[in-house]
A and B are shown apart, each in its own frame.
Chain A
Amino acid sequence: MSHHVTFKDLPEGGEKFDPAKGSKLIGAFAVIGGLGLVGSIYGFVAHADVFSYSWLFAIFFAFTVMVGSCFWILLHNASNSSWGVVIRRLFENLANMVPVLAILALPLLLPSVQSHLYEWMNHHREAAHHAQEAGISVKEALHHMAEENQHLHVLVEKFGYLNITKHFVPPFSWQTRFLLYFFVLWYIARHMRGLSLRQEQDGDIRHTIAARNSSCRWLFPFALTATFASVDWLMSLDYTWFSTMWGVYIFAGSAWASMAIMIMLVAWLRSLGYLQKVVSEEHYHLMGKLLFAFTVFWAYIAFSQYFLIWYANITEETRFYLIRNTAGWRWVSIFIVVGHFIGPFILLLSQPRKKNPVVMVTVCLWIIFMHVVDMYWNVIPERGPSLGLGVLAPGAIWGDIFALMAVVGTMGFLFLRKLGGNSLYPWRDPRLLESVNVVN
């Protein structure tokens, strides 16, 4: 950037987004969301078994974006960074969509939905029924059931964690944890944006220090949330499977996808005439570099997990990859290797490409698509075997598309509608000029 920006160059009060200017995209999200919701309601009514998986997939996709947004806020504050001040508010606003997601996720709490998704819950409910009849504990009832069906023995072993009854005893029941995950993310998002907005009111630099301290403290609960949400919602789809890397894997994809969304959002806002003075090609370059870093990090984690399970070749672990490496899913797996890693890796290597918004938006669209594919590949292959429908449930993909449309459309619409509520960047942040004038 040739001109050094000072506070005099920037408008007092920052820039406010006018939804009327972005009405095309907002309208598109509304239509997509509306159609998706209609389709989803039909899905729940007509094909609840198949559609439960579609809904979980869509919700989890959005959840990873929330996780990623919270991560970037926390990382930015905790590392005392300055470059990202101009985009931090957008992440704060994005992360504050957690309550909307929580509401959309409520169907996952319904036993009728869970019964299709989580086989272990069915056994637990059956055990609870027996327990009530026989006047014994659920775990004991489960133990009796395991004597008949040896496969259930692991459920007895895992009862302390994987249960739907111990609501108030740590590590709590599945449902309580479900709510807890949303609460933690919601608290982080709200608290961090709160500090940022308060600074806009009073201009006190100490809020920046407070945000740094809080971010450091919340990193650990955040890590636990991302990890155990992935365990509860995805890993327990197959209650026999386990991997210590799982939380890190989900986290890596989350941070990756949410950065891609941020780049697209920034490019879109700039195309509408916003952020012209504060965001430069240097910011695209920086975000591109982080995107590159997470492309590699995800590949490193994904490869390590796959490789170690492949090499050791233990039956308990291989099932996850077996169902994803056979029949039609094999091609999806190969596609993920190419599309999730090799493609973005090559595209993001060059510096001029990272500084070019048009190229970056194209790459980011691809990245978001690949993240959708990755999440799809993680959730959906369980559907066929669990419901006894074979490898691919015919026609179910329409439900998956409608679910994704419903969640993305609704959240995108509400996010953009509310985006005008405060300045697009924290205009009184004490590191704003450092961020605006960043050169790397």
Chain B
Amino acid sequence: MEATATAPAHTPADGAPRVLEREPLVLNNRSYSWITNRICGIVENKQPGLWWLLFVPSVILTGVMVFCFVYLISTGVGVWGQKQPVAWAWDITNFVFWIGIGHAGTLISAILFLTRQKWRTSVNRAAEAMTLFAVMCAGLFPAFHVGRVWMVWFLAPIPNANAIWQNFKSPLLWDVFAVSTYFTVSVIFWYIGLIPDLATLRDRCKPGLKKMLYGTFALGWRGGNRHWSHYETAYMLLAALSTPLVLSVHSVVSFDFATSVVPGWHTTIFPPYFVAGAIFGGFAMVLTLMIPARKIYGLQDLITPKHIDNMAKIILLTGTIVGYAYSMEFFMAYYGANKFELQTFQLRGLYGPSTWAYYFMFSFNVFAPQLFWIRWCRHNMWMVMFVCMCVNAGMWFERYVIIATTLERHLTPGSWRTYEATWVDKVTFLGTFGFFMMLFLLFLRFLPVIAIGEVKGVLPQSNPHQDDHPETGIQEEDLMDYADRHVAKTVNA
């Protein structure tokens, strides 16, 4: 990495630095034009071979997914593995898994925006896109689980000739509202954020279809003061609107389970525990996608080790919160002295037929992220990828443990049955990964992966007063003499 000096302009008599400087969010003093060219270049240039190498299998897998759903519709829901007492299994597990992943985007965009975390600018666009694609994958499962997917519109409380009256007391119905509202607002939020960048792409295109499309979607953006002012107001309002939505979606998903009287499902900590888990899984997926993307497209100066370090820390925090919730559930199962609740947990974790799933869940979600206590693990991309892969798998197992293994040993021992997934379950789930990847790769191909306008806003040169009151400062890397450096050495510190 080329090192360019960030020179402090002023040194006091004693020379000792008194300020701990913030790490730059864009490395190597990149200019506005470099940023525009680098990000737009991804869309404008030919895609690297690796893109095709990933895209083709993704399309094939999407086809396989479509085949599976066609097979399911034509044959019946019986092609999936659920039988009494395990009436919910992989389908709902996959639904909650994908919905959870769909939380990081809006978290990064909205909550980190409201808390003024400027580092979000490099990752929010891709995370939001990922959110939308994950929610799309999620929506498929309950829609097809209803059996007659063509009647899924009965879920909407609209007048119909069949005297269908939606059960407003059911969390499943709230789920429909929560997820669809979340998806709608996330699309709007994502699109509003895209407008200035679409205009940039429009301005760089040669006349033709592309220019017309980018131009249409850029809504006549000219980048005037008034445009920016309206844009920022809208962005702020949408951020404020999205924040409760992020929390509501997974809280409502948790209600699907927690409002029941099923031991192992009914527990009061479920809403915040699900939300923390969703943020956890979502961040892992963001990193899973962004670490290869930054390497392939040469975005290391924009998505810096600092960004990855921050996200790794969030994964550590949320992973530990999830660990707290697991432990609290176990503790209360004991403390509550309800033998059914306690037995459910003993069956999950000690002697049930699927304890392996519980061990996977616990070690992937709670123990693996503990590696992020070590700085080296947060800065070694292979290590970060390893932990993220653990978390991706672990969060799937979490939902599997909650849903399938609980039902395997329901209240009546006479109806106990060990669940086994069929090939359709497995291939459909694999197919959604193809669908997800296909959409994400198309996003990389046609839209700016990083919010160009927002990244420029966090550059030091965007602050007209940056040199007005210099103080002698020092970078943490210089101060602590870390072995791996990312920021240019401060001169005269």
Give the interface of A toward B (CB within 8 A).
4, 6-7, 153-154, 157-158, 160-162, 203, 205-206, 208-209, 216, 220, 223, 227, 231, 242-248, 296, 300-301, 304-305, 307-309, 311-312, 314, 316, 428, 430-431, 433-434, 440
Contacts and interface: CB of A to CB of B under 8 A. Distances in A.
A6 B469 contact: yes
A4 B473 CA distance: 17
Contact of B20 (A6, A205, A440): A205
Contacts of B260: 312
A433 B335 contact: no
A430 B20 contact: yes
Contacts of A157: 334, 337
| Interface hub of B269, B320, B474 (most chain A Cβ within 10 A) | B269
B269 A244 contact: yes
9 contacts: A161-B334, A203-B18, A300-B271, A308-B259, A308-B271, A312-B266, A430-B18, A430-B20, A431-B20
B17 interface: yes
Which secondary structure dominates chain A's binding surface? helix
B182 interface: no
B268 A305 contact: yes
B247 A205 contact: no
A246 B258 CA distance: 15
Contact of A243 (B255, B261, B268, B337): B268
A242 B332 contact: yes
B2 interface: no
A209 B331 CA distance: 35
Contacts of B465: 4
B261 A314 contact: yes
A231 B320 CA distance: 20
A160 B479 CA distance: 48
Nearest to A301: B272
Minimum-distance CB pairs A-B, first 9: A430-B20, A244-B269, A157-B337, A245-B268, A154-B337, A242-B336, A304-B271, A311-B259, A244-B332
Contact of B471 (A161, A245, A433): A433
A162 B328 CA distance: 15
B324 interface: yes
B337 A206 contact: no
A430 B473 CA distance: 8
A244 B328 contact: yes
A223 B324 contact: yes
B269 A245 contact: yes
B476 interface: yes
Interface in B1-58: 16-20, 22
Contact of B328 (A247, A300, A309): A247
A300 B332 contact: no
B270 interface: yes
B468 interface: yes
Contacts of A4: 465, 468-469
Nearest to B272: A248
Contacts of B295: none
Nearest to A235: B335
Interface string B457-468: 000000001001
A300 B247 contact: yes
B272 A304 contact: yes
A246 B336 CA distance: 13
A320 to B, nearest CB: 11
B272 A208 contact: no
Contacts of A314: 261, 266
Contacts of B336: 242, 316
B367 to A, nearest CB: 14
B263 to A, nearest CB: 10
Nearest to B260: A312
Nearest to B254: A304
Contacts of A243: 268-269, 332
A309 B17 contact: no
A428 B17 CA distance: 11
Of B271, B335, B476, the most chain A CB neighbours within 10 A belong to B335
A52 B271 CA distance: 35
Contacts of A431: 19-20
A369 B335 CA distance: 32
B432 interface: no
Contacts of B365: none
Contacts of A208: 20
B422 interface: no
Contacts of B324: 220, 223, 227
Contacts of A227: 324, 328
A384 B334 CA distance: 28
Given A205-B17, A430-B473, A433-B471, 6 more contacts: A4-B465, A205-B474, A242-B332, A311-B259, A428-B18, A430-B18
Given A7-B471, A243-B332, A158 B266 contact: no
Interface in B230-284: 244, 247, 251, 255, 258-261, 266-272
Contacts of A160: 334
Interface string B471-487: 10110100110000000
B329 interface: yes
B206 interface: no
A371 B331 CA distance: 27
A434 B471 CA distance: 11
B116 interface: yes
Contacts of A308: 255, 258-259, 266-268, 270-271
